Chain A
Amino acid sequence: MLSRLLSALRRRTRVWARKRHGIDSDPLTLSPRRIYIVPSGLGIAFTLMLFAMFLGAMNYSNNLALGLTFMLGALALTAMHYCHRNLAGLQLRSAASEPVFAGQTARFRIALENDAKVARYELVIANEHSVAQPARVESGGRVVLDLDVPAPQRGLLALDSFEISTRHPFGLFRAWAYLNIDLRCVVYPKPSPRGLPPPPLETDTGGAQDTTRGDEDFAGLRAFHPGDSPRRIAWKAYAREQGLQVKVYAGTAVTSHSFDWDALPGLGTEARLSQLCRWVEDAYAAGRAFGLRLPGVEIAPNVGPGQRQRCLTALALFDEKAAHG
């Protein structure tokens, strides 16, 4: 009951903070004005202890005990300033976040940069789903931390607001700021289980489109590029220490898949996208060329991770209503 109340309260403060601060710019410098600070549970315990000490010292008119009490109190106030400053002026910057498939957990990467002359300690970023390990950022240093967000469905997943906090130096205070950086991560459709065979290979005969590409006649070697199929690597040439080379075939036929939305009648939108996603993944894993045809989208056949990303992103962002007008 209480925890539900607390989490509701937390959500409301986040909404309120978003309203107050708006969407943050991408490299963002935390201004002192948006940092909140309150005593932690330990801080309250410490205050109670100081109060007990104070009563004792006054009761016994013991000046040294009173002095120690004031010293610890002043130390706590100093710690409060250090806690606040530990965050103020910190720079946050988004780092690339890798696309994921629906059902996986998206990992947003946030870089913390400290251009101050001294180190910053125990910085924690957290959202509703995860808490990153506390990090220490040296003067002039940079640390990249991850925030997890579950990605239940395909599309563009936005990082909801998150917070950065610290309890440095003594854990007596907790300073934090709510952040709303506009960060998005592409979520591919979930590949459907293997089963439905991919549509047969299409063959372009005679190099009508591209004389340099084909499957039949060996035409020579060229340097390996990332994304080339491992089957075409000239292992013999590699064994002769000529470096990693790829056999190039010319001539007659380029074989490639073309995955078509219309080839999957009778399925719902998401099921079709999932199936297409599965085919793209399989074809990519097999090192074959593939293309994609969706209503309103046409991607010519090609190979490699770039092609895969293009196709999967198209699947992720496919908007049926827009496609059909």
Chain B
Amino acid sequence: MAEVRALRWIPTTQWPPTLQRLVWVIAGLALSVVPHVPHIKAWILVLAAGAAALRIAIEVKQWQMLAKWLRSVLAFVALLAVLLDYRTLNGIDAGTALLIVMAGMKLLETRSVRDLTVIVFLSYFALFAAFLYNQSLLRLPYMLVTAWLLTVTLMRIHQTTTSMSIREALGITGRMFAQSLPLAILLFLLFPRLPGQFWSVVPARGEAVTGLSDEMSPGDVSDLSISTALAFRAKFIGPLPPPRERYWRGPVLHDFDGRTWRQPRTLFVAQEVVTSGATYEYDLMIEPHQRRWVFALDVPTNWPKRRAARSSDLQLLTGFERPVSTLTTFRLESATSYTVNGPLPNLMRATDTRLPGGRNERSILLAREMRERAGSDEAFIAAVLAKFRDEEYFYTLEPPRLKLDSVDDFLFNTRRGFCEHFASAFTMLARAAGIPARVVTGYQGGEFNPISGYLLIRQSDAHAWSEVWLGERGWVRVDPTAAVAPERIERGIEAALTEGGESLPGTFLRNSALLTRLRLAWDAANTFWNNQVVAFGEEQQRWLLERLNIGDGDWQELGVGLVLTLVAFFALMSVYLAWRFRPRALDPLAQIYEQMCRKLARHGLPRAPHEGPTDYVTRVLQTRPELAQQLVEARKIYVALRYGPRSWGPQLNRSELSRLKFIVNQLKV
């Protein structure tokens, strides 16, 4: 059996050239589709793989190609299937799906070099689409190598007669890549960037992005805590805020149905914010999350007005049509001590004291009772926090599931919860006591990276807290989690959970000193990558040009820079290639003979192409007999060395060669 298989196996180099080309093209396509595997629908991959397998079978078994009408029907059905499944052909998801499906369909009709080339082009495009999904540093080597291999394939399918060895193709294309790279970099740096999208694409519904959502039910935030994915980074110009003030404000939730908190549908009148004390200035680099939220440190006081706006509940939001769909940087200013002035708008008061009827009735009774006993709003809040702190309430990542009346169930039954349970319960109790209150979701804390000087905020830092309206003091932040697990606020979520004997995934990695250093170094590299490359934009471009003293980076100067770059590239490439294609060096004997011929040619006696040395010298001597002595000796030596019995090569007669050289040098025409 093994023998049979061994006999049937033919080395790839002996495959028929058409099959080799086809296999290379299909492999290139596969390599560029691999980055799409996590987000593309399985049937699309199966369809493309099936088409590839069928095409190879046709080639190997010498079957007939599918009829043209059948291919057209297949392509149309595939297009329809994509349209039905994705409901659109617009947008990255549907576009990528269509691209892969059409590459598969195109494979079924590939016959000529032209068809194969089209597949390679589609592969380039798939690679391009993969960058739209993920621009991480980790992926870059894979993408570059794939682009290189695609180019090798492109070159090899265009060698129609003799097939080019892979090594040679790798060498030539590698050199071409190296030569193109400087031009590509300069184009990248100099090409004017347009702010914003000019063709808005609505992100498909159900596009899952880990991160906060615009509503909060028990269990939502604790689910996020498992994710170590990065939410955003912050680089402070001055000192860092202390850990207990690192509250990054996200969606503010007002509507409560007894279990879930939601953003209101109504708009409120904005209130005035008066800050006191120092402000923090920082750059916030937000990973794409497809929402409009900018997680500013509480509370933003200055922000790029063209790109974002502060809502009436103090959240910073980008423009309606411009969600954070790529890594985006904002220069912000925030204050941590502030008061919201002025009377509470009626609509806001009504919304923030509303409770759903007939739900969580035990808690409402408890709140009223506690409020009566406390005597003031402040005392009531202190009493609730004391209750959380002193009674048997636990902070845990794995809280039990709650019944419909979630606050009742939590307060009187399970007594175990994560930040959203405490925030939800506290806010509801405050409302029941007649105090306007709302839930704020966002992030709390952050890990400082000493190598890059950034604060890293992960999804696991997601948090929920409350804000209550206390008359003159305005909106005051109350974090009930701080009462039950103060270390969560001071030292982060891991510290809080390890106290209770729980651990987050990946905690071991974080506890090893060496690994921590490696992790932080890797993150520093990533940060550099993200800031300098991924987020390269108008501002960085202007900064770079100013640094290089080229100008202030307006379009005109960029245009001149681009033109100069292209001109320089053309000139350098021409010179380089002329040098690379220079004639091969002649052997020393031929060089001397050439020199002699040139000397004579300069004086009107060029050697005719058909003349050998004997005829040539004879002809020259007819017009210039005075050169006889020198030319006859030169001819004798040359003929002896070139055609003589002693083979020309290692046994080269040095003295004769130098004699010839001497004669030619002395030759005075």
Contacts and interface: CB of A to CB of B under 8 A. Distances in A.
Interface string B129-162: 0011001000010010001000100110011111
Contacts of A121: 159, 164
24 contacts: A45-B118, A53-B125, A60-B92, A61-B197, A63-B536, A64-B135, A67-B188, A68-B143, A69-B128, A70-B188, A70-B191, A72-B124, A73-B184, A74-B183, A81-B574, A82-B577, A116-B582, A117-B581, A117-B583, A121-B159, A122-B158, A140-B584, A169-B173, A169-B176
A68 B533 contact: no
Interface in B83-132: 92, 113-114, 117-118, 121, 124-125, 127-128, 131-132
B169 to A, nearest CB: 9
B161 A134 contact: yes
Interface residues of A, number: 56
B578 A59 contact: no
A62 B159 CA distance: 35
Contacts of A59: 197-199, 201
Contacts of B177: 71, 75
A57 B198 CA distance: 11
A130 interface: no
A169 B194 CA distance: 34
Nearest to B120: A170
Contacts, number: 160
Interface in A40-61: 41-42, 45-46, 49, 52-53, 55-61
Contacts of B114: 41-42
Given A61-B537, A118-B580, 4 more contacts: A42-B114, A71-B177, A77-B573, A169-B172
| 8 nearest A-B pairs in the assembled complex, by CB-CB distance | A74-B180, A74-B183, A65-B131, A116-B581, A85-B577, A74-B184, A64-B131, A71-B184
Contacts of B534: 63-64
A88 interface: yes
A136 B184 contact: no
B180 A75 contact: yes
B326 interface: yes
B337 interface: no
A26 to B, nearest CB: 8
Contacts of B536: 63
B127 A68 contact: yes
Contacts of B183: 70, 74, 77-78
B630 interface: no
A128 B174 CA distance: 37
Given A53-B128, A67-B188, A71-B181, A81 B577 contact: yes
Given A122-B159, A133-B161, A167-B158, A74 B181 contact: yes
A27 B158 contact: no
Q: How would you classify the secondary structure of chain A's contact residues: helix, strand, loop or mixed?
A: helix
Given A64-B131, A65-B131, A67-B184, A81 B573 contact: yes
Contact of B162 (A53, A60, A136): A136
A115 B583 contact: yes
A168 B147 CA distance: 19
Contacts of A60: 92, 132, 197, 325-326
Interface in A78-102: 78-79, 81-82, 84-85, 88-89
B535 interface: yes
Given A53-B128, A64-B131, A68-B131, A116 B326 contact: no
Nearest to B180: A74
A89 B326 CA distance: 49
Contacts of A134: 160-161
Contacts of B573: 77-78, 81
Contacts of B196: 61
B537 A82 contact: no
A32 to B, nearest CB: 8
Contact of A85 (B132, B194, B537, B578): B578
Interface string A129-145: 00001111001100000
Nearest to A124: B160
A314 B416 CA distance: 115
Contacts of A70: 183-184, 187-188, 191
Contacts of B644: none
A152 interface: no
B647 interface: no
B242 interface: no
B179 interface: yes
Interface string A160-186: 000000011111000000000000000
A66 interface: yes
Contacts of B151: 75, 170
Interface of B: 92, 113-114, 117-118, 121, 124-125, 127-128, 131-132, 135, 140, 143, 147, 151, 154-155, 158-162, 164, 172-173, 176-177, 179-181, 183-184, 187-188, 191, 193-194, 196-199, 201, 325-326, 533-537, 569-570, 573-574, 577-578, 580-584, 609
Name, among B143, B158, B578, the residue most crowded by chain A CB atoms within 10 Å (CB to CB).
Answer: B158
A86 to B, nearest CB: 8
B125 A49 contact: yes
A77 B584 CA distance: 27
A136 B161 contact: yes
Nearest to B540: A63
A66 B584 contact: no
A75 B191 CA distance: 17
Given A78-B180, A134-B160, A62 B131 contact: yes
A71 B135 contact: no
Contacts of B574: 81
Contacts of B188: 63, 66-67, 70
B319 to A, nearest CB: 14
Name, among B176, B184, B325, the residue most crowded by chain A CB atoms within 10 Å (CB to CB).
Answer: B184
Nearest to A85: B577
Nearest to B585: A117
A115 B492 CA distance: 72
A57 B201 CA distance: 13
Contacts of B537: 61
Contacts of B127: 68
A117 B582 contact: yes
B580 A170 contact: no
A164 to B, nearest CB: 15
Contact of A45 (B121, B194, B578): B121
A65 B128 contact: yes
A49 B325 contact: no
Interface in A98-116: 115-116
A73 B184 CA distance: 8
Nearest to A115: B583
A75 B118 CA distance: 17
A114 to B, nearest CB: 9
Nearest to A60: B132
A55 B127 CA distance: 15
Contact of A171 (B147, B158, B193, B194): B158
Contacts of B92: 60
A58 B128 CA distance: 12
B501 to A, nearest CB: 43
B100 to A, nearest CB: 16
Nearest to B150: A72
Nearest to B160: A134
Given A63-B534, A81-B573, A171-B158, A89 B180 contact: no
